[in-house]
Amino acid sequence: MSADFVVVGNPESRRVENFLRAARQATGQRPTVLAWLQVLRGRVRWESFAGREVFVRLESPGKNWEVERGILALGAGENDEEDPNASRWNRCSRREVAALENDPGRLWPSRQWYLGWRAILAQIAARLHAHAAAVRWFVPPSDVGIMFDKAATDQLLASRGVPVPRGLGVPESFDDLLARMAAADCRRVFLKLCHGSSASGTVAFERRGARCQAFTTTELVRDHAGMRLYNARRVRRITDPGEVATLVDALCAERALAQAWIPKAGWRGGRMDWRVVVIGGARRFVVPRLAATPFTNLQLGARRGDQDALAAELGAARTEALLAPATAALACFPQALGAGVDLAPEVGSRRSWVLEVNAFGDDLPGLLSEGRDACAWAVAAALNSLKSPAPDGNPLPGRSPPSKPPPDGTCACPAAPG
Amino acid sequence: MFTEHRTQWLGHPVADFTSEVVDEPIDPTRIYRLRVDYDSDMSFAELFERFVEQGGAAEVPAIIIGMWFADGAEANDEPVQLLAGARDRLSKLRGIFFGEMLSEESECSWIEQGDVSPLFLAYPALEHFRIRGSSNLTFGSRLRHAALRSLVIETGGLRGAVVREVLAADLPLLRELQLWLGTDDYGGDASDEDLAPLLAGEVFPHLRRLGLRNARRQDHIAKLVASAPITERLHELDLSLGTLSDEGAEALLASPAIARLRRLDLHRHYLSDDMMRRLTAKFPHVDVSKQETPEDGDFRYVAVSE
């Protein structure tokens, strides 16, 4: 099968630009671009896909205020199956959303955003399958939906035997978190927004006896207008139990997942984890991230380490054993051609644990693997997958067979497993 | 901040002894670090028992006690008692490093140390004692030990009471002493008066290597040491990891005793480029690696605090 490439994203973003360039280079054709804003406002002529065979790459909706507000507005009208009375997690009405103004760094009702995000993903899937002759996805919308729900991802991975940190569930409040920690005999946890990304709304919390401390990038602002949460680029340490409680309560109202804090191995003076980009079943990029704080996000000051030097120190067998869970995590999403996996080696470097699966975690500016960047690898994996039989013209996102390596080395597309 | 475990100690390679490797034979040329994993089903007591019952344990030259609590008891009484009680089975033991935990396992200031004096009674041939964390730490009212050569206390804040205990101790063979002074935020309240017997050279006649490290007032410490009688008989001085700036370094440059040292360790500092050049020109054995720059105006941090 051949197919027209379609990218859904924010057209002004570097991510979309990179993908367009990679697709043009590999196919000679410019993909169709659908802007999230266009989709949200119902301004897509879906009929134009009639009879076409398409390969769809969904890109991040982030860094665009109008899109963010549109998703929040859509979420306002969505029922929450986990919170039918809309009493558990922070919600706001369509009218309130319409009145919102851009406030960079601010955390908006995260669960509601997710409900809107899931709805727009479902809408795209339904529309394309209704009109196009065949639809393939880089990552199907249903998988993107799961990856954007850390609790669901965690459950899926755990059920398939992928090593994930011990889960303490979705606490209602700070008191509930403490009760869960006591019941699980767990003194250090990470609390993360189920639907957040990039350490947004994350707290590394520790309690022993009367003492507690929390590391976080979340700032809590209180004034006449009420209480608001912001993401900051600085990691703060809070030791006042009252202040920690207020923050944790606020995050729990956005649906947050608590997990045991894996003591991360260190390397070259930093606490370490890996961002692993798996594409077509193979680990294409393995980037050690070294941090001075419990957070290894690069935008929070962590630095990239040299994977070749690290692998040489660990030895081939141990490196392979430590990185294997990343590939295993992606195997839980058999229809997804790629994603980013955050993987933490435990102190002692004998085991590693999957912390997150990021649908849009393959954005690694400036990094090349065998001469290709992540977008080029994604396009190659897409072309490769198109060689396997198309789903039987069905309108629903059926399970496409796993991608196979080409029969010989003559093809421009890479063999998948490396 | 501690991010990595040591891979060498006292000239020996260090290996982890965890629940995953309890059945592997012990190599007596190595030093083992006993450590429980975060989700380990095996308690520290069980892990320790598995270690000492192995044939090779009787030959190991030293032991490192790492993370001893996963979720259980945190105070050090149990590991201290276990180690003291195993004296007949660890008969070659010359070194103990107690509490080698990383920041990812436990903040240094949260390591619950306590009374370590039973270890000195149990191991009269002990030569090296190193400890991390000084919360509740005590060496007892009057420490006496005829063999100890090296004593190191790694901490983010050393209490004056611990300094007084150490300097009142009877340690006739002590050659190396390291005190990590830390900051008052974490209990580091040792005063000049507490340090006076040391600086005056009244204690530890064989002391040749002195470290007064990781200090919030590293400049002040440098000035004290530059003109202290003790410095006359030192071979090595270590003022690393703290907040040393040009102010403290000027005092070092002016000191004849400092110029006679065989090694001067100033690494991880806030010195200017120019001062680093002057120090290197004057002292061939100086280590001025790891230059830091002050944050937010003039705020300088020690390497290990919380």
Neighboring chain A residues of B306 at a CB cutoff of 8 Å? 213, 237
pLDDT of residue B73: 61
Looking at domain A264-358, which of 3.30.1510.10, 3.40.50.300, 3.20.20.450, 3.30.470.20 is its CATH number? 3.30.470.20
Query: Which chain A residues contact residue B1 at CB under 8 A?
Result: 292
Helix, strand, coil % in chain A, rounded to nearest 5? 35, 25, 40
Compute the average pLDDT of residues A100-116: 96
Is A347 in contact with B1 (Cβ distance < 8 A)? no
pLDDT attached to residue A397: 40
Name the residue among A258, A260, A188 with its Cα closest to residue B110: A188
A160 touching B, CB under 8 A?
A: no
Q: Where are the domains of chain A?
A: 4-137, 167-260, 264-358
The pLDDT, as a whole number, for residue B141 is 83
Q: Determine the longest span between alpha carbons in chain B, in angstroms.
A: 58
Interface of A with B in 197-226 (CB under 8 A): 206, 208, 211, 213
**Model confidence over A146-176: pLDDT tens digits?**
999 999 999 999 999 999 999 999 999 999 9
Average pLDDT value for residue range A235-242 = 94
Mean pLDDT of A338-367: 95
The Cα–Cα gap between A235 and B204 comes to: 44
Check if A417 contacts B (Cβ < 8 Å).
Answer: no
State the complex-level ipTM. 0.91
Q: What is the Rg, in whole angstroms, of the alpha carbon atoms belonging to chain B?
A: 20
Task: Give pTM, 2 decimals.
Answer: 0.91
Percent of residues, chain A, with pLDDT higher than 90: 85
Residue linked to tokens 């017997």: B197
pLDDT in tens, B186-199: 999 999 999 999 99
List, for residues A385-400, the tens digit of each pLDDT value. Answer: 999 875 544 434 433 4
- Pick from B1, B20, B306: CB nearest A350: B20
Say which amino acid occupies A42. G
Residue A390, pLDDT score: 59
B102 close to A (CB below 8 A):
yes
Q: Residue A198 has what pLDDT?
A: 81
Q: What is the pLDDT of residue A407?
A: 40
Give the pLDDT score at B193: 98
**What is the pLDDT confidence band of residue A1, given thresholds at 50, 70 and 90?**
low
In chain B, what are the domain boundaries?
Answer: 8-239
Chain A contact present for B267, CB below 8 A: no
Name which CATH class applies to B8-239. alpha beta
| Percent with pLDDT over 70 in chain A | 93
**Predicted pLDDT at B196:** 98
Tokens of B271: 């010195």
Per-residue pLDDT at B74: 80
Among the partner residues B38, B74, B104, nearest to A208 by beta-carbon distance: B74
pLDDT: which is higher, A228 or B296: A228
pLDDT tens per residue across span A239-290: 999 999 999 999 999 999 999 999 999 999 999 999 999 999 999 999 999 9
pLDDT reported for residue B32: 98
Residue pointed to by tokens 């043009």? A24
B147-189 pLDDT, tens digit per residue, is 999 999 999 999 999 999 999 999 999 999 999 999 998 999 9
Whether residue B128 contacts residue B149, with contact meaning beta carbons closer than 8 Å, is answered with yes
